Structure formats: structure tokens, C-alpha cells
Structure 1
Amino acid sequence: MAIDAALEAHYTTRHDEAHRLSSTLKGRLELARVQELLGRYLPDPPAVVADVGGGPGVHARWLQELGYAVELLDPVQRHVEQARAAGIDARLGDARWLPWEDASFDAVLLAGPMYHLTAAADRRLALHEASRVTRPGGFVAVVAINRAANLIGSLLANRLQQRERIVREILETGYSADNERMAETTYHSVTQLRTELTSVGFRAVTVHGLTGPGGWLTVTLDAHFGRQPAPESMTDPDPLETALICSRLADRCPELVPSSSLFFAVGQRV
């Protein structure tokens, strides 16, 4: 299996995925919401879950602690080694060619492949494979990045003028070859994401705003203070709890889904 060199470099030399979900407000919000939304759909343990593109195993470890049986697959050798060191059954592999038998899992999580597979045909193949290894009635959950996230993020950081061409390309096509923020990344609209899941046969497809409008509070604070403590005037009340409350309120209003920088879509296998 070949992995894109830019993607390998991104996760090997530039980006510490093992700590991303714990080292920033935005990451902690994403982690809390993935767990919260997964909890709405997961069957009771000891169900069997595949974590495809599971990185170093942050989600898999949480699932194992709840009593689920988890198998992880990732294309980055470093991630596989980190996951194995954490006691997770992990192997090197590609979301487009899963190594498991048909109907092996009660649920499948794809938290990375939908935005790192830039060709629509590859994403379709990954979704077909996820459906194949899911038992009838089970669900597949995917994470995708909002096509508008670069526009809003660049605006909040006052970097829009420098990145205008890249942002325009992403808004128009969902991809820019010159995007320096994340290697080989595609961005979805809500309609596009729903269509990609329904077109391969998933039913009852629901798209949630993963981080919701509250995510932009965490992005702003992270941009200003990074890993340094923010002043008390900006942390009382707790901004993470504020963002969570905001995102939960937005869950009641489907029209607010496009305000989220990340999407969490779920479909059921027929």
C-alpha cells in the first residue's frame, strides 16, 4: 500500500496527532463531541468497532475502556506503532482496501479518510469498503471538514488576504493543491457529504455539526494563546464548556450544521 509522501511527512515530521485532541481547546472540543455523538449510535459493549484511519488510537483507546472490541487501521506507520504501544489491535492499511471479512463489525468509524482521500472515486471506494465490513443494521460514522472552514478561519486570523486564492479554490472545488495548512485535504459541503453516503446505499443518513458554532470560540482562543494559559477574564466561565453548550444547542437546529468547521455524518447499512 502506498501513502502520499506529503501526507506521510505531515503526520511524521510536522503534526503530532497523538496529542492534537488534548493539547488545544479545539482538539478537546472535537474529542468530546466525537465521543458524545458516537454514544448516540453505538450498540452496547462488547460490540465490535473498526477505527479506519484511526491514527495513534485516541478514539480506539476510549472505546476499549468502555468495553468495546476495537480494530484499528491507519496508513501511517508511526501511528500504527503508537496505537500498538497503547495496547490497541492496529495494522497498517488503506481505507480503500480493508483487510477484514464481510459483515465483521457492528460499527465503523472513519475519522480521517473522508478528507484525506481527495478523489471522489477513492472516497466512494472507502465508503463501499466500510459498508462491506459492517453488519446489516450497523452504522458507519465519518468526519469531514466544512468547505467554508478555511474562509472563516482565515478571516478570524486576519490571513484572508494572503490566502484568498487558496480559499477561493477550496470554496469552489473543495480542494487546493497549494493549501499549506493540511496535506492532501478535501473539504465538503453538507449536501455533498450526505450525497456521498447515500449514493453508496447508506440509509437514514444524518449530518451533525461536530464542533458547531462554538468551535470558532476555541479556534479564536487557540490562535491567540496557543498552549499558553489565557487570561482569567477569558476563561471564566470555562470556554470549553461554553463551546460544548453552544454546540449542543445548535444540534437542535439542523439549519446551523453549516456553521460547524467539522461535520460528523452517520449512515446505516441496509
Structure 2
Amino acid sequence: MTIHEELEAHYSERYDEAGRLGSTIKGRLELARVQDLLGRYLPPPPATVADIGGGPGVHSRWLRSLGYDVELLDPVPRHVAHAARAGIDATLGDARELPWEDEEFDAVLLAGPMYHLPDARDRRQALREALRVTKYGGFVATIAINRSANLIGSTLANELIKRRSVVTEILRDGHSPDNERLAHANYHTVAQLRAELCHLGLRGVTIHGLTGPGGWLPVVIDAHYNGLPLPDTLRNPDPLTTALECSRLADNYPELVQTSALLFGIGQRD
């Protein structure tokens, strides 16, 4: 199995994944919330964690700092080299064909595979492989992009008219061949993500709003200010603090999962 050439070009030539989670308010919110949610479910260190589709290793570095034994796998050579330079045990590979033994990890995180495998058969294979390498009683966690995210985000950025055809295809099919924002991308509904995880046979499947309703505040700021100085009303209090508080409050109300651009699904292997 090989990486899709469009996906490799996206991350190797056009997009700096290494800086994404630290360079914008939106990225920092995503990082903080991943840490929030993983912290609820992971067993204490030094448990073993597989970071599948882990990119240049942002989540792996954090997990290692806490004392976890982490192995990263990613299909992009640039990402694997970056992670290895940071001292992470990083392997070039495909989520659909993992190089590890059965029941090797206490927890598995799949981020990129769920939104870079548009074919449902490929996602099922990646999830089966994740389950295979997870110990009984361990957790499989996934990150997916909400299908409504392009509609809301394009509207808030006042780009919906320009992107209408792409947004319409994503809403209808879950992907668009003309999507200029993210190469070879898939978008889930909440029900679809839940069904894929439940079909895997995981126990206690829960879908969280990763960025929640608070995630739309940095979208507006990034779209309309793009590095320009913010007015006082958007600097005090810190918009990241506001977005985090909003998204954490929303965790108490499952019906608000639908408002989140990013979804975090998790379940436990029986």
C-alpha cells in the first residue's frame, strides 16, 4: 500500500504540519483539547501508545514528556524524519497495514487516517488494524472532521459563494475532488463516525466535540485578521482561553457535539 501522491505533495510541498498546532489559535485549541480528552481515557504512564498518522510527532512528544512509551507511524517521509529528529520512535508506513504485533499497545490514536481515507473500505481496514494491535481493555481513539465544518467555516469567512460547489459535494458525499483546503480528504457525520467505531466492536463508544462550539471563534479571527493586530475586545480575555472554556462547557451537553468542526471518537476493546 502506498501513499496517495496528492496527499504526499500536500504535506511535503505545500503545508507545514509541524507548525500547524502551534501557529494559530485554532491549532492551539485543537492541541489543548486532544490533551484534555486523551487525559481522561489513557491509562497512567508508562503505558504503550501507538500514534498512527502522527505526522511530525506533536502528540507523541507530549505523550513522551508524560512518561508514555510511544511509537509513531506516518506515510509521509518528511513527517517521519521530523519526528525521528525529535527522538521519537517513528516508522514510515500505512495505517491499513501496521508493522506491529497483535495486542502490542495499551492505547491507539488515529488522527490523519480517518480524514485522509475517503474510501470507507480503507477506513474499516485501518480501524481493524488499530484494534488488532490494541490490548484487550485498551482504547482506540480517532479524530475526524465534521461534514458540516466546510459549510460553517466558509460562511464565517464569507467564502461560501466562492466555495459553494465544493461545500455542496462535501455535504452530499463526504468528500470533493476539487477541495483546495485539504488533499484527499474525508468528512464524517457524527452518526457515521459512531457507526464505524461501533461496527468495529468497541465498547462504550463516545463521540466528543473536539474543538466544540468554541472552535468557531478562532476560525473567525484567523479568517478576518490573519496575523493583523486584534482589537481590544478580541485580545482581552485571550480568545484561546474563551474558546477552551466554551468547548469544555459544551462537553457536558452531548447534543452540542454537532457544533464542533472536529470530532473525537473513542471506545474500548473488549
Matches within 5 A, 1:210-225: 210-225=210-225
Partner of 2:69: 69
Secondary structure of the residue aligned to 2:208 is strand
Count of residue pairs the alignment pairs up: 270
Secondary structure of the residue aligned to 2:130 is helix
Partner of 2:193: 193
What residue identity is the alignment partner of 2:111?
Answer: A
C-alpha deviation, 1:232, in angstroms: 2.7
Matched, 1:30 2:46: no
C-alpha deviation, 1:2, in angstroms: 1.3
1:106-165 deviation per Cα after TM superposition (whole angstroms, max 9, x unaligned): 000001100001100000000000000000000010000000000001101111111111
1:178-222 deviation per Cα after TM superposition (whole angstroms, max 9, x unaligned): 111100000001000000011111111000000000000011111
Distance in 2, Cα, partners of 1:208 & 1:145 = 12
Partner of 1:5: 5
Unaligned runs of 5+ in 2: none
What residue identity is the alignment partner of 1:258?
Answer: Q
Q: Percent identity?
A: 68
Distance in 2, Cα, partners of 1:190 & 1:9 = 29
Partner of 2:144: 144
Distance in 1, Cα, partners of 2:133 & 2:226 = 40
Q: CA RMSD in A?
A: 0.8
Partner of 1:242: 242
**Deviation larger for 58-67 or 220-229:** 220-229
Q: TM-score, normalised by structure 1?
A: 0.99
Partner of 2:226: 226
1:46-78 deviation per Cα after TM superposition (whole angstroms, max 9, x unaligned): 000000000000000000000000000000000
Matches within 5 A, 1:107-256: 107-256=107-256
Partner of 1:18: 18
Partner of 2:262: 262
C-alpha deviation, 1:255, in angstroms: 0.3
1:11-52 deviation per Cα after TM superposition (whole angstroms, max 9, x unaligned): 011110000000000000000000000000000000000000
Distance in 2, Cα, partners of 1:16 & 1:170 = 24
Kept after mapping to 2: 8 A contact 1:116/1:186: yes
Secondary structure of the residue aligned to 1:214 is helix
Q: TM-score, normalised by structure 2?
A: 0.99
Kept after mapping to 2: 8 A contact 1:115/1:145: yes
Distance in 2, Cα, partners of 1:128 & 1:163 = 35
Distance in 2, Cα, partners of 1:228 & 1:44 = 42
